[in-house]
Amino acid sequence: MSIVETISKSAKTAKWVGVVMIIAGVLSLSAPMAAGLSISMLIGGLFIVSGVFQLLVVFRAGSFPRELLLGLLGVLGIMAGVYMIAQPGLALATLTLFLSGYFIASGILQIVAAFQARSQQGWGWLLFGGLVSMLLGAMIWSQFPLSGIWAVGTLVGIHLIFSGMTLLAIAGAVKDAASAIAD
């Protein structure tokens, strides 16, 4: 198989992945609470897996008495994961508040960076992005606990749609370039 055929084949796979991401994003937007609960449970599962592996490393290395803190972190990860799976609604509320705080802090940092970059072209976009981020964070915070129902699932859905569209665009450009080389 030539390099051009390999690139073309990869582009086709990337297009399908992009389509699946867009479909997942639309589904997330159509049922944001279900998506948010699923995300909080998935994160809980990841905490459990992470905690188990931390404990395995501590015990397999034979360093349990010396590495008590790492062992405790593993236990804490497992406990947090079990809690998130057992109480996905409360976990979702916590994720929503964290997300709100993240957007507000990120917006403030972007605004500060924008004013520091005033002499450079495009600094207004950085300022705009910071203002939008702060506004989104404040909106989520002010609508809490209601925002817990929609915020995480909606934002993940939007992210999936835009990431899928980006992947489709890149795959199309790669396939076009491969076709141009083949001709």
Average pLDDT value for residue range 140-164 = 92
- The domain total for the chain is 1
Where does the pLDDT of residue 170 fall: very low under 50, low under 70, confident under 90, or very high at 90 and above? confident
Q: What is the pLDDT of residues 111-147, one digit of tens each?
A: 999 999 898 888 898 899 999 999 999 999 999 999 9
User: Would you state the pLDDT for residue 62?
Assistant: 72
Q: Are 103 and 131 in contact (CB under 8 A)?
A: no
What is the CA angle 152-156-159, rounded to 5?
Answer: 145
109 within a domain of the structure (yes/no) = yes
182 within a domain of the structure (yes/no) = no
Range 147-164 burial, b when 16+ CB lie within 10 A, else e: bbbbbbbbbbbeebbebb
Range of the domain at 28: 13-175
pTM score? 0.73
Q: How far is CA 76 from CA 57, 67, 71, 141, 148, in A?
A: 15, 14, 9, 27, 24
166 within a domain of the structure (yes/no) = yes
User: Would you state the pLDDT for residue 69?
Assistant: 82
Q: What is the pLDDT of residues 43-99, one digit of tens each?
A: 999 999 999 999 998 888 776 667 788 889 999 999 999 999 999 999 999 999 999
Cα separation of the two ends of the chain: 16
134 within a domain of the structure (yes/no) = yes
Helix axes of 88-116 and 147-182: crossing angle, nearest 10 degrees:
60
54 within a domain of the structure (yes/no) = yes
User: Would you state the pLDDT for residue 182?
Assistant: 66
User: Would you state the pLDDT for residue 35?
Assistant: 95
Q: What is the pLDDT of residues 16-26, one digit of tens each?
A: 999 999 999 99
Tokens of 177: 């370039």
User: Would you state the pLDDT for residue 6?
Assistant: 67
Range 98-124 burial, b when 16+ CB lie within 10 A, else e: ebbeebbebbeebbeebeeeeeeeeee
